[in-house]
Amino acid sequence: MTFFLQLVVTGFALGMIYALVAIGFVIILKCSEAFNIAQGHFVLIGGYLGYTFLVTFGLPVWATLLLAILTAVVMGLLIERFALRPLVGQPVLAIIMVTIALATILGGLATLIWGAEYKAYHGLLPTITLKIGAISIPSESLIGLIVSAVTVAILMLFFRYTKIGLAMRATAEDLQVVQSVGIKATTVYAVSWVIACVVGVIGGILLGGVSGANMELAEVGLKAFAVVLLGGVNSIGGAIVAGIILGMLENVAAGYLDPLLPGGGLAKVFPFIVMIIVLIFRPYGLFGLVRIERI
């Protein structure tokens, strides 16, 4: 039982990070109807940025976060302006391919700059240890949980109370109405990409703190897709719930089934199995809108 609870708790913390990354995806999708395959590579860049600022430059944690967020903002603006904006109004495939291409370019840049090597910065993030009965919560996971929760809360407030946040929600509802009241759609798109980059990079630093930065961080993006599909592609709340569910399921399944399977590595395909099941039985996810199509 302790083993099970331990898996659930660790999975919960992991799931919170998945949720954070998935939110970035949902925001872009809601605002500009672009499916961002490169979300996982924002995480990858984030993980390596964490290494550069914390270890190479030896900066404190707050400065690292600040600089990483700044980098993410610049990255988001550049990506939106030069890759996505020329393709506004193009078919789904073009947008998806452009984000796939972005993913390869970001992967290539990460290889060029950091050499695709494993970079550990274990123990540099602040630690808080918490023990409930026999279950100990790993300190890095707890930090991940707290930072993710705070980021999600900030985003919620942003969408509720700021002008641009409201404009983004309105754009998600109806682009034409938004344009007719004088909101610039391009600004909204740019901000949505910036937010996606920022949450991706934060997620990357958190995951890097747990397991070190390497090229496999990009696979978190694939897990985020499973999260997004499970929660419903246009629901931020759904992404949070589904992220936590998936994190727990994955941890529990890997904990119990991996010893039984010869090759192991169930955690790697688990999100895809969830994905296929969701797509066959409930394609619009738990909280997604069922789309009605007309000719």
Partner 1 sequence: MGSHFGTFQESYAQDLAIFRTKLHWGVLFVFLVFLFTCPLFFSDRMLTIMTMIGITVISVHGLNILTGYCGQISIGHAGFMAVGGYTSAILCAKLGWPFWVALPCGALSAGIAGLIFGLPSLKIKGFYLIMATIAAQFIIIWTIIQLRSITGGPDGLSVPKPVIGSIVLSSKTNYFYLVMVVTCLATLLAKNIVRTRAGRAFIAIRDNDLAAEVMGISLWSYKLQAFFIGCVYAGVAGSLLIHYYSFASTDQFPFMDSVWYLGMLIVGGMGSTTGAIFGAVSLKLLDELVTMAGPVLSAAVAPQAAASLALISHGLIIIIFLIFEPRGLHHRWEMIKAYFRLWPFSHEE
Report the residue from 2, 89, 112, 129 that binds partner 1 according to the rule CB under 8 A.
112
In angstroms, give the least distance from the CB of 108 to partner 1. Answer: 3
Q: CB nearer to partner 1: give 1 or 280.
A: 280
* Nearest-angstrom CA–CA distance, 200 and 194: 10
Q: CB nearer to partner 1: give 132 or 290.
A: 290
For the purposes of burial, counting CB atoms within 10 Å of the CB of 27, is it exposed (0-12), middle (13-18) or buried (19 or more)? buried
* Nearest-angstrom CA–CA distance, 207 and 43: 8
Q: Of the ranges 125-133, 205-213, 236-244, 273-281, which one interacts with partner 1 (CB under 8 A)?
A: 273-281
Does position 275 bind partner 1 by CB under 8 A?
yes
Q: CB nearer to partner 1: give 36 or 171.
A: 36
Q: CB nearer to partner 1: give 99 or 151.
A: 99
Q: Of the ranges 49-57, 60-68, 94-102, 240-248, which one interacts with partner 1 (CB under 8 A)?
A: 94-102
Q: Of the ranges 55-63, 85-93, 139-147, 167-175, which one interacts with partner 1 (CB under 8 A)?
A: 85-93
Q: CB nearer to partner 1: give 130 or 277.
A: 277
In angstroms, give the least distance from the CB of 230 to partner 1. Answer: 11
Does position 293 bind partner 1 by CB under 8 A?
yes
Using CB under 8 A as the criterion, what x/- string covers residues 23-42 for binding partner 1? ------------x-------
* First-to-last C-alpha distance (Å) of the chain: 54
Q: CB nearer to partner 1: give 80 or 140.
A: 80
* Nearest-angstrom CA–CA distance, 93 and 245: 30
Does position 15 bind partner 1 by CB under 8 A?
no
Q: Of the ranges 60-68, 90-98, 234-242, 244-252, which one interacts with partner 1 (CB under 8 A)?
A: 90-98
* Nearest-angstrom CA–CA distance, 180 and 185: 10
Does position 267 bind partner 1 by CB under 8 A?
no
Report the residue from 5, 57, 74, 111 that binds partner 1 according to the rule CB under 8 A.
111
Residues that bind partner 1 (CB under 8 A): 35, 83, 86-87, 90, 92-94, 96-98, 100-105, 107-109, 111-112, 115-116, 222, 225, 229, 233, 261-263, 265, 268-269, 272-273, 275-276, 279-280, 283, 293-295
